[in-house]
Copies of this chain bind each other. A is one copy, B any other.
Amino acid sequence: MEVTIVGAGLVGCLLACYLARRGHHVTLYERRPDPRERGPDRGRSINLAISQRGIDALRRLGLDGKALHAALPMAGRMMHAPGGALSFQPYSADRSQAINSIGRAALNRELLEAATAQPGVEVRFGCRLTGLDERTGRLRFESGEEAEAGVVIGADGAYSAVRARLQQLPGVSFSQEYLDYGYKELSIPARNGAYVLDPGALHIWPRGRSMMIALPNPDRSFTCTLFWPHSTLDSLDTPQRIRAYFAEHYRDAFGLMPDLIPDFQGNPIGHLVTMRCAPWHARIGDVAVGLIGDAAHAIVPFYGQGANCGFEDCVELDRCLDEAGDDFPRALELFERRKSDTDVIARLALDNFVEMRDKVGSRLFLAGKRLEHALERALPGYVSRYELVSFSTTPYSQVERRVARQRGIVVAAAGAALAALAFAARRGRGLVRTPEAD
């Protein structure tokens, strides 16, 4: 089968590898130039945290070792209090589990190499999709070039051109929801060739309504990202104001950011959007059109699951092709079942922003986390929501059910423990006569 994938980003490249393994011919059209021939985008991309779902999707093709060789494991959150005090919260009870910091550009290059190394995969750069003919389904590109395909899969990200075309079809529901927050990248460079913060943690400066995070890079720098209300970002309009604000709210980081002023003033403000679309597939002319990854369901980055979810999409679509005997229209129809999972992670990602920027700094929350880890050790089979999302491949839609079930068990166990304590206390005060006392 001749398959066209629009977008040679992370998901497009991985999907090409999956389809090539099935024996399909794949042409990838990418609007940007070849990333192997240009420098990295500056300040436009949050570092990724690849966890179990992403690793699993890579591993099924034997790509995990090569694609993640530069990744840095982060075994927990390092919280930075306003005064500079640090506290570490491991992601798992036994501290054995880690999410993996890697730059988007580096991972994309590895996956591009992997895709182009497959027989039957071709990548065309500098091709921006501008149209999909209503009658014939022919693809039109900005360059004037045209192309034909029996199957078109949009892996072209949150602002997908393929989805924009689908949205014009009657019956295609769609939403884009922006948070009233922007993000901006800053940098903490290495000092004397060494990390100035622990590279084994994801650093968070929770500040209630806003926050900063930092993820380690192989060159011993950290990429920092501010997640601030637009009003705060806009209000720091002079070097004096920027310096004063950081000195007050991010005291420990402020001293580690020699390029703060040019970074803050020069780097663009990114936006935080959740995109939902239903259905993800349609027939346009004779062409079966589908969506995958961010094009189908862009989510905010606060659970570190955007790329992981997109990679898992590839595994699921591969499974649907198995079930459909490589009949793409049928497989794209089956793939709609994935929406029950992506809807859940979209919501969890939004919820986690509140947790990261606000709750992780509170003592009550920390006590809750310690209790949760104690339960994990005490109750066999208890796994936290974070672990189910990040360190398992349990479908997202089942994570919530399992968390609810566990909560029921915990409440019952706590009730039993309280009853036992009460019993012991009464016995101690002679209120309960025990057989021995009789």
Interface residues in chain A, defined as those with a beta carbon under 8 Å from any beta carbon in chain B: 167, 170-178, 180, 230, 271, 273, 276
- Cβ 8 A contact of A174, one of B175, B180, B230, B271: B175
Closest to A170 in B: B271
Chain B residues, CB < 8 A from A276: 175
Q: List 21 A-B contacts (CB under 8 A).
A: A167-B176, A170-B178, A170-B271, A170-B273, A171-B178, A171-B180, A171-B230, A171-B271, A172-B176, A172-B178, A173-B175, A173-B176, A173-B177, A173-B178, A174-B174, A174-B175, A174-B176, A175-B175, A175-B176, A175-B177, A175-B276
Copies in the complex: 2
Q: Report the separation of the CA atoms of residues A173 and B298 in the bound assembly, to the nearest whole angstrom.
A: 14
Closest to A230 in B: B171
Q: Can you list the 10 inter-chain pairs with the closest CB atoms, starting with the nearest?
A: A175-B175, A170-B271, A173-B177, A171-B178, A173-B178, A174-B176, A173-B176, A171-B271, A174-B175, A170-B178
Chain B residues, CB < 8 A from A175: 173-177, 276
Q: Report the separation of the CA atoms of residues A276 and B174 in the bound assembly, to the nearest whole angstrom.
A: 10
Chain B residues, CB < 8 A from A172: 176, 178
Closest to A270 in B: B170
Chain B residues, CB < 8 A from A176: 167, 172-175
Chain B residues, CB < 8 A from A170: 178, 271, 273
Chain B residues, CB < 8 A from A180: 171
- Given contact pairs A171-B230, A175-B175, enumerate 15 new A-B contacts (beta carbons under 8 Å): A167-B176, A170-B271, A170-B273, A171-B178, A171-B180, A171-B271, A172-B176, A172-B178, A173-B175, A173-B178, A174-B175, A174-B176, A175-B176, A175-B177, A175-B276
Chain B residues, CB < 8 A from A177: 173, 175
Chain B residues, CB < 8 A from A178: 170-173
Chain B residues, CB < 8 A from A230: 171
A415 to chain B, nearest CB (A): 37
Closest to A174 in B: B176
Closest to A171 in B: B178
Q: Report the separation of the CA atoms of residues A331 and B274 in the bound assembly, to the nearest whole angstrom.
A: 29
